[in-house]
Structures are given as structure tokens and as C-alpha cells.
Amino acid sequence: VEMMVARLEVGDNLRKAATYVYTSTAFPMLTGTLVTVAGFIPIGLNNSAAGEYTFTLFVVIAVSLLVSWIVAVLFAPLLGVTILPATMKAKHHDQPGRFTSMFRRVLVLSVRRHWLTIIATVLLFAASIAGFGLVQQQFFPPSDRPELIVDWNLPQNSSITETRDQMERFEGRALVGNPDIDHFSSYIGQGAVRFLLAYDVQPANPYFGQTVIVTKSIEARNRVKPALEKLLREEFVGTDAFVKPLELGPPVGRPVQYRVGGPDIQTVRDLAQEFAGIISANPQLAAPTFDWNEPQRVLRVDVLQDKARQLGITSSDIASALNSTVGGATITQLRDATYLIDVVARSREADRSSVATLQNMQLPTGTGDAIPLAAVANIRYELEQPTVWRRDRIPTIT
């Protein structure tokens, strides 16, 4: 609009003034807008937790700048044609204002003393670089929410029943009746639903649980956190229970993390154990934990396919029989109001954990006879990793 006023003062009509404003400013303004939007493209296209969290920043900036450009080059000239008079007299200012006179004197002095101006500019630039060291380096501020999250990671061969028992004991010891806690909820075998964008959802596992604690204030949260950490450290030995506040920004997890990766799982385990011993010597670090590195005993069954085919037994038959013996099979259901409860039958614990008993397990053949499992398969116990996390398809321990 100001540019239209200037064109009207030199004698242009409204249509010509509006056209001049569009042709002289539209492309430069569009270029500057697109350059600004392009500066935020790495945020919008970042395929990571940080990119997901800040994607809306890129969208809001891009949309707002493009809309502002449309308003500036189309709506503003239209508004000027509507509210400005058809002609305007030129205004002449014989005496410059106080600010103009002061600016002119500074400008003339700077041009005449150009070396002094350059030196002053360099010194100011150096001072600004040095001043950056005083700026706090923080991508996202600390959480200002009253919640605390307790992540439970039991040994990876633990049952969901053991996870439930430990979490219930924790609730009774630390949460029930605590005056600083407003309410809490526990999730056994899985994490809480994603109630916040920055919340880090964990995969469901029988040995995993999560407790969401809502305190009454930030001060109460700061009092509860060290008390819970001390209780977990002293009374829940062998359980990896990590207390953390809700994070603002992409979920980070533990403050200090290292990754050890390589093609051979056993070598990775050995190096991870060695590295954990090194960092344990640092008094500022607590006991290190691993996201995997706990071998568990598994039952390995090698089917002798030639013998099995001769007797009319398939690998599927053997797997079904073992599953019924070890894991159990549903034989009927009981009705409880509107619910149906499965009745599962399986062998006694002493029988299903004994290799000798499993070797003597009888399998029906195609002729109707029964033979022991040892006749068609070799059974043995082995140790293997129940969970192997990979990064870029390489086994990696964190």
C-alpha cells in the first residue's frame, strides 16, 4: 500500500499503481518466501523421532509464509485500490527529520572512516562468536509435566506372572498412600497407550511392564523420583526399573547410551560386557544395563526326516505333540457370565522340563501304532538369545 501511495504521488492512476506494485514485488517476495521455507525442509523430511515431533513446525511455517505472500501480492493491492483516492498530491519535505539527519551523519562518517568501520565490524563479529559460548545448548527444555514413568524390564525369560507380582509389590511399597502422588496406573506385558506425541511406546513382552505415576506438582515429582530410584535399587535387585519424567521432544530414554554392533553375536556380547566393565568404573554412572544380552535355555528338536517319513509322521505332527505337552492345549471352555474361559491341559512341570520324559513321549504313526519321540528326533537343551536387536541389519547391543 505504501508503494501505491508513492506511485500515486508521481501521477499514476490506481490501476497502474497496483500493477506496478505486483510486478515489482511479487517475484522477489516469492523468492525470499521459498528460500525461507526451504531452510526448514530438513525438519519436514527428517525420518526420525525428532522429525516426527517437529514436522508441524515445518508445515506451519510453509503454509503461513505462502499465504502471507498471496495476501501481500494480491489482497493488499486490491485493498489499496479500494481505500486509496484516485489521485494524490506529491508531498515535499524541505527539512529532513531528526532521525534522518542523525542517520545521514552516521552514514557519512562511516564511509569516510571506512577502515575504522571495517575494524569495528570485525570486532563485533568476534564478540558475537565468543558470546555464543554463553548461550545454553539445549534443543528441548526439561519436562514441566507432573508425570513419572517407570519402565520395568525383568530378565528376558521371566513370565508375565513374575512381572505382575513385582509391579504389585512396588505399588504397595511406594505408591499406595503416598501424599505426593495423585494417581497411578500400571500396564503389565506392554506399555501405556500413546497419550502424548513424545511418549516412547515400547513393544509388548511378558517381561516388560510400565507404571505411569501422576504427582501433584513439579516439586512433588522431584521429591518422588529419587525416593523411587532408591527403593528400586535396594529392594528390586536383578530388575531393570528405570524412572524418568515425560520428555519434551523426541524420546531419548537413558541419558548415556552406547552401541556395540558387529556381525557375530557372541563377539558383540563379549565386547559389550567388556565395555560395561570399563564404564562401571566411572562414579557418575550407575550400573549399566543391556537391551539384550541374556541367553535363555531352549529345547532344540532335530527331526530325522527320513525315519519320520517312513513312519508317516510329519514335522507338524511333532510340533503339535510337543506344544500340547509343554505349552498346553485347550480341551474345553467354561462360561463365566458373558465370558468363555479356556481350560488348558499340559504335562506336569517335572515332565515337561525333562529331556528324558520328552524323548519317551509317544507319537501316533500312520499305521495306528505309537512310537517314542526319540525314534524320529534328537532332543537337547541349548542356550540362545531370545531377543536380538539390529541396527542397519547388524546385531547391536545398547
Question: Does residue 160 lie within any of the structural domains?
Answer: yes
Are 341 and 221 part of one and the same domain? no
CATH number at residue 196: 3.30.70.1430
Single residue among 100, 132, 164 that ends a domain in this structure:
132
Tell me the average pLDDT of the chain.
82
Question: Does residue 344 lie within any of the structural domains?
Answer: yes
* 273, 294 contact by CB (below 8 A): no
Q: What is the pLDDT of residue 82?
A: 76
Please list the residues that pair with 364 across neighbouring strands: 370
Please list the residues that pair with 293 across neighbouring strands: none
Range(s) of the domain holding residue 34: 2-132
Per-residue confidence band for 58, with pLDDT thresholds at 50, 70 and 90: confident
- Which pLDDT tens digit goes with each residue over 115-145? 888 898 999 999 988 888 887 776 666 777 8
Q: What is the pLDDT of residue 203?
A: 82
| Helices and strands per DSSP (H, E), number in the chain | 14, 13
Question: Does residue 331 lie within any of the structural domains?
Answer: yes
Are 155 and 120 part of one and the same domain? no
- The pLDDT > 70 percentage for the chain reads 92
CA 384 to centroid of chain Cα atoms: 29
Are 90 and 6 part of one and the same domain? yes
- The pLDDT > 90 percentage for the chain reads 3
Question: Does residue 236 lie within any of the structural domains?
Answer: yes
Single residue among 199, 229, 245 that ends a domain in this structure:
245
Average pLDDT over residues 156-166: 86
CATH number at residue 322: 3.30.2090.10
Are 124 and 12 part of one and the same domain? yes
Question: Does residue 57 lie within any of the structural domains?
Answer: yes
Model pTM score: 0.61
Question: Does residue 179 lie within any of the structural domains?
Answer: yes
Please tell me the total count of domains within the chain.
3
Are 30 and 114 part of one and the same domain? yes
Are 7 and 127 part of one and the same domain? yes
- Which pLDDT tens digit goes with each residue over 7-18? 777 677 777 777
Average pLDDT over residues 138-163: 82
Q: What is the pLDDT of residue 123?
A: 92
Q: Residue 136, Cβ neighbours under 10 Å: how many?
A: 5
Are 234 and 310 part of one and the same domain? no
Res 322 pLDDT > 70:
yes
Res 92 pLDDT > 60:
no
- Which pLDDT tens digit goes with each residue over 271-309? 888 888 888 788 777 777 888 777 777 888 888 888 888
Are 77 and 40 part of one and the same domain? yes
Question: Does residue 368 lie within any of the structural domains?
Answer: yes
Torsion angles phi and psi, residue 97, rounded to 5:
-75, 175
Q: What is the pLDDT of residue 251?
A: 66
Question: Does residue 353 lie within any of the structural domains?
Answer: yes
Using CA atoms, how far apart are residues 153 and 292, in angstroms rounded to an integer?
10
Give the residue, 35 or 255, on which the prediction is more confident: 35
* 265, 283 contact by CB (below 8 A): no
* 57, 40 contact by CB (below 8 A): yes
Are 116 and 155 part of one and the same domain? no
Single residue among 245, 275, 291 that ends a domain in this structure:
245
